[in-house]
Chain A
Amino acid sequence: MQIFEYNGSALVAMVGKNCFAIASDRRLGVQLQTIATDFQRISKIHDRLFLGLSGLATDAQTLFGPYFCQPVIAGLGDEDKPFICTMDSIGAKELAKDFVVAGTASESLYGACESMFKENMEPEELFETVSQALLASVDRDCLSGWGGHNTYRSKGKDFERKDGLSGTKYLTHEISMDLFF
């Protein structure tokens, strides 16, 4: 019994033009049995940072002590430059300029992302690409799937309030994809 494949998972993050997208599947399983089809793998840390945890679900739920987990980190860094990274369960980082993947469907995800990725995609196109890459990959992996959660973040309009406070509105779109037959 492989511990990383006990619950099943699929995670992908991609960089676009001043935006990023992070998506996960929705299955929670116990080896061959599906327990739930609405499991959340991606957490919002704050406005500009999202974290997805693949691997053993119980460790993803334990604060201060994940073990058999592979994180996917996606956010907006300095000057709103999109940033993505993944690492293995012992912290070997992989910084990528284009996309990162994790989970039981990672091999399929590598293939799908490699063929579908383009540089400097606008938010809507990036969302579509990430969704199609995820759905295509999990369809070939029995331990992940049952739809997907896709979050994409881009820098919206700059705004200025009457009291002099200025800031930037961030557009976040969270879409849940149902399984299409």
Chain B
Amino acid sequence: MECVFGLVGNDFAVVAADTSAVHSILVHKSNEDKIMILDSHKLIAASGESGDRVQFTEYIQKNVALYQFRNGIPLTTAAAANFTRGELATALRKVEDQMILESCKSSSGVPLVLSHYNPYFVNILLAGYDKETGPSLFYIDYIATLHKVDKGAFGYGSYFSLAMMDRHYHSGMTVEEAIDLVDKCIMEIRSRLVVAPPNFVIKIVDKDGAREYAWRESVKDAGVPSA
């Protein structure tokens, strides 16, 4: 089960996500990066259905870039979070029509249409740094509940990481303290979750931008053999 969690430090925000891509009992790969760099100072850590995760986060990324091209200034983290939330909320209730195949048309020749909802099953933690307001973390779940938080988590791992963060988190943590707490959470997930993902990626965003901080690997994928 996918584990994503994050927290806000004194002038940075850090998010961690597991890196396994799983279908039923099969692990396709264990180095799948689920934290997208949205723009220079934003990270989007997403968990949920893999097709939706990739398509939706890329859609958000491209729209955030379009805003910057059109307006000359980047979106704030709160604005990007509200935009993301709006897109999830729209998809939640918008009716999509699917045309039924030619062979299944009704006797009078009228095309049959299947109407259904098509929500995105993606849970998101959006971390960012704004010059004016500093670091921030937004919790956005798949039914478009938006809340600004100091610490957040999704998935079965959240039962362990949230508890760990409730115990050890305090506002204004340094990078060292925060990474130590992230490692504590990963240790807890690894030892207590029955189908624990082996590898994690940690990314950080601060005044210098969004970047990958570290990987925590206990299982390495076999390399692709050269042709």
Contacts and interface: CB of A to CB of B under 8 A. Distances in A.
A9 B162 CA distance: 21
Contacts of A56: 143
Given A33-B159, A33-B162, A61 B85 contact: yes
Contacts of B207: none
Interface residues of A, number: 14
A23 to B, nearest CB: 20
A28 B145 contact: yes
Main secondary structure of the interface of A (DSSP, over half): mixed
Interface string A15-42: 0000000000000101001011001000
Contacts of B200: none
Given A35-B139, A36-B139, A58 B159 contact: no
A57 interface: yes
A91 interface: no
B144 interface: yes
A62 interface: yes
B93 interface: yes
B152 interface: yes
Interface string B127-165: 000000000000101011111010010000011001000
A177 to B, nearest CB: 20
A33 B160 CA distance: 12
A3 to B, nearest CB: 10
Contacts of B143: 56, 58
A35 B149 contact: yes
B89 A58 contact: yes
B151 to A, nearest CB: 10
Interface string A47-91: 000000000111001100101000000000000000000000000
Contacts of A35: 139, 147, 149, 152
A58 B158 CA distance: 20
B162 A62 contact: no
A62 B149 contact: no
A28 B141 CA distance: 12
Contacts of A28: 145, 147
Name, among A28, A36, A56, the residue most crowded by chain B CB atoms within 10 Å (CB to CB): A36
A36 B89 contact: no
Contacts of B89: 58, 61-62
B149 A36 contact: yes
Given A33-B158, A58-B89, 4 more contacts: A35-B149, A56-B143, A58-B145, A61-B145
Interface of B: 85, 89, 92-93, 139, 141, 143-147, 149, 152, 158-159, 162
Closest 8 CB pairs of A and B: A58-B145, A58-B144, A57-B145, A58-B143, A36-B147, A62-B89, A36-B149, A28-B147
7 contacts: A28-B145, A28-B147, A30-B141, A36-B139, A61-B89, A61-B144, A61-B145
